[in-house]
Amino acid sequence: MRYMILLNAEPPATPPPAELMEAIMKLGEEATRSGALLDTAGLMPSAAGARVQLSAGKLSVTDGPFAEAKEMISYALYQVRSKEEAVQWASRFLNLHHEFWPGWEGEATVLRVFDPA
Closest Cα partner for 80 from 45, 48, 117, 112?
Answer: 112
Which CATH number fits the domain 2-112, given the four candidates 1.10.10.10, 3.30.350.10, 3.40.50.300, 3.30.70.1060? Answer: 3.30.70.1060
The neighbouring-strand residues paired with 39 are: 77
pTM given for the model: 0.90
DSSP code of residue 114: P
Question: How far is 117 from 102, CA to CA, in rounded Å?
Answer: 43
Q: For all residues of the chain together, what is the average pLDDT? A: 94
Per-residue pLDDT of 23-75, as tens digits, reads 999 999 999 999 999 999 999 989 999 999 999 999 999 999 988 778 999 99
* Residue type present at position 52: V
